[in-house]
Structure 1
Amino acid sequence: MTVEGELLWRPSQDFASGSNLAQYMEWLRPRGHDFTDYPALWRWSVDEPDAFWASLWDYFQIWSDRPYEEVCTKGAMIDARWFTGSRVNYAEHVLRNLDSRGGDAVAIHYRSEMRPGGTVSWQELEEKVRRLATAMRDLGVVPGDRVVSYMPNIPETAIAMLATVAIGAIWSSAAPEFGVGTVTDRFAQIEPKLIFAADGYRFAGRDFDRRADIAAIVGKLPTLEHLVWLDYAHPSGAPVAHRGLRKWDDLVAGDAPPREQFRYERVPHDHPLWILFSSGTTGLPKPIVQGHVGVLIQHMKGMSFHVNIRPGTVLFIYSTTGWMMWNSTMSALCVGGGTVLYDGSPFADGVGTLFAVAQDTGAHVLGASPTLVQAAAKAGFRPRDHFALDALEEIILGGAPSTPETFAWFYDAVKTDLWVTSQCGGTELCSGIVGGVPIQPIYAGEIQGPMLGIDVAAFDDQGRPVIDEVGEMVITKPVPSMPLYFWNDPDKSRYRASYFETFPEVWQQGDLFKMNDRLGCYVYGRSDATLNRFGVRIGTAEIYRTLEKVEGVQDGLVLCCNLAGGDYYMPLFVKLKEGVAPDDAVRAAIIRRLRDENSPRHVPDEILFVPDIPYTMTGKRLEIPVRKILLGAEAAKVASRETMANPASLDWFTDFAACKGLVGL
Structure 2
Amino acid sequence: MGTSTTAQRSPFLWEPTSERINQSHIKAFADYTGQALFPYERLHRWSVSHLADFWSAIWDYAGIIGEKGKRIFVPSSSMPDSEWFPEARLNFAENLLRGSLDRIVAYEADETGVRRKITLEELRESVVKAQEGLRRLGVQKGDCVAGVTTNDIEGLVALLATTSLGATWTSCSPDFGTKGIVDRIGQVKPKVLIATLSYQYKQKPFHIEDKIKQTTENLEGLSALVTLGGEASIDGVASLSWNDLCDNEAKEPTFQPVPFDHPLYILYTSGTTGLPKAIVHSVGGTLLQHVKEHQLHCDVQKNDVLFWYTNTAWMMYPWLVSGLASGAAILLYDGSPVKQDSLTHLWDIADEVGVTHFGTSPKYLDTLMKAGVELESSHSLDSLKSLLSCGAPLAPEQYDWIFQTIKQDLFLASISGGTEIIGCFVMGAPVLPLKRGEIACKALGMAVDVLDDRGASVYEEKGDLVCTQPFPSIPITFFGEGGEERYRKSYFSKRPGIWTHGDLAEQTIDQSFIIYGRADTTLNPGGVRIGTAEIYRVVEHIKEVKDSVVFGLPKDHDEEIVLCVVTEQLTEDLAKEIRQQIKAKASPRHVPKRIYQVEEIPHTINGKKVEGAAKTAALGNEVKNEASLSNPSSLRSFRKLLEKEFV
- TM bracket (short chain): over 0.9
Q: Distance in 2 between matches of 1:630 and 1:227?
A: 41
Q: Distance in 2 between matches of 1:291 and 1:601?
A: 44
Q: Given the alignment of the two structures, is residue 248 of structure 1 paired with residue 242 of structure 2, yes or no?
A: yes
Q: Distance in 2 between matches of 1:603 and 1:505?
A: 38
For residue 35 of structure 1, report the CA deviation from its aligned partner.
4.2
Q: Given the alignment of the two structures, is residue 24 of structure 1 paired with residue 41 of structure 2, yes or no?
A: no
Which residue of 406, 412, 416 corresponds with 2:398? Answer: 406
Tell me the amino acid that sits aligned with residue 593 of structure 2. Answer: D
- The aligned residue for residue 305 of structure 1 is 296
TM-score when scaled to structure 1?
Answer: 0.92
Which residue of 632, 639, 644 corresponds with 1:654? Answer: 639
- The aligned residue for residue 373 of structure 1 is 365
Change beyond 3 A, Cα 1:404–1:491:
closer
Q: Given the alignment of the two structures, is residue 382 of structure 1 paired with residue 374 of structure 2, yes or no?
A: yes
Q: Given the alignment of the two structures, is residue 58 of structure 1 paired with residue 52 of structure 2, yes or no?
A: no
Contact map agreement 2:525 2:558 (CA 8 A) in 1: no
Contact map agreement 1:513 1:521 (CA 8 A) in 2: yes
Q: Distance in 2 between matches of 1:467 and 1:115?
A: 46
Q: How many pairs were matched up?
A: 637
Q: Given the alignment of the two structures, is residue 516 of structure 1 paired with residue 516 of structure 2, yes or no?
A: no
For residue 80 of structure 1, report the CA deviation from its aligned partner.
2.2
For residue 530 of structure 1, report the CA deviation from its aligned partner.
0.5
Change beyond 3 A, Cα 1:377–1:229:
same
SS in 2 for 1:400: coil
Which residue of 433, 455, 462 corresponds with 1:463? Answer: 455
Contact map agreement 1:20 1:305 (CA 8 A) in 2: yes
Q: Given the alignment of the two structures, is residue 643 of structure 1 paired with residue 629 of structure 2, yes or no?
A: yes
Q: Distance in 2 between matches of 1:239 and 1:389?
A: 47
For residue 257 of structure 1, report the CA deviation from its aligned partner.
3.5
For residue 334 of structure 1, report the CA deviation from its aligned partner.
1.0
- The aligned residue for residue 616 of structure 1 is 604
Which residue of 618, 630, 634 corresponds with 2:618? Answer: 630
Q: Distance in 1 between matches of 2:618 and 2:366?
A: 28
- The aligned residue for residue 278 of structure 1 is 269
Aligned pairs (5 A) from 1:301-450:
301-348=292-339, 349-450=341-442
Identity of aligned residues (%): 35
TM-score when scaled to structure 2?
Answer: 0.95
For residue 158 of structure 1, report the CA deviation from its aligned partner.
0.6
SS in 2 for 1:356: helix
1:508-560: CA deviation from partner (whole Å, max 9, x where unpaired): 11111111122211111111110112121111111112223445333321112
For residue 246 of structure 1, report the CA deviation from its aligned partner.
1.8
Aligned pairs (5 A) from 1:117-266:
117-231=115-229, 235=230, 243-258=237-252, 262-266=253-257
1:368-404: CA deviation from partner (whole Å, max 9, x where unpaired): 1100110011011112222221101100011011111
Q: Distance in 2 between matches of 1:132 and 1:612?
A: 42
Q: Distance in 2 between matches of 1:63 and 1:386?
A: 43
Tell me the amino acid that sits aligned with residue 385 of structure 2. Answer: E
Change beyond 3 A, Cα 1:241–1:392:
farther
Contact map agreement 2:27 2:37 (CA 8 A) in 1: no
Q: Distance in 2 between matches of 1:291 and 1:63?
A: 16
Change beyond 3 A, Cα 1:443–1:211:
same
Contact map agreement 2:370 2:543 (CA 8 A) in 1: no
Can you give the 5+ residue segments of structure 2 that lack an aligned partner in the other structure? 1-6
Contact map agreement 1:629 1:638 (CA 8 A) in 2: no
Q: Distance in 2 between matches of 1:553 and 1:277?
A: 31
Contact map agreement 2:626 2:632 (CA 8 A) in 1: no
1:306-360: CA deviation from partner (whole Å, max 9, x where unpaired): 1111110101100000111101010101111111100110112532122122112
Change beyond 3 A, Cα 1:43–1:466:
same
RMSD of aligned Cα (Å)? 2.0
Which residue of 527, 540, 561 corresponds with 2:532? Answer: 540
Aligned pairs (5 A) from 1:586-601:
586-601=574-589
SS in 1 for 2:13: strand
Contact map agreement 1:54 1:71 (CA 8 A) in 2: no
Contact map agreement 2:262 2:283 (CA 8 A) in 1: yes
Q: Given the alignment of the two structures, is residue 603 of structure 1 paired with residue 591 of structure 2, yes or no?
A: yes
Which residue of 14, 19, 26 corresponds with 1:14? Answer: 19
Tell me the amino acid that sits aligned with residue 283 of structure 2. Answer: H
Q: Distance in 2 between matches of 1:112 and 1:659?
A: 41
- The aligned residue for residue 663 of structure 1 is none
Q: Distance in 2 between matches of 1:540 and 1:343?
A: 30
- The aligned residue for residue 4 of structure 2 is none
Q: Distance in 1 between matches of 2:480 and 2:270?
A: 18
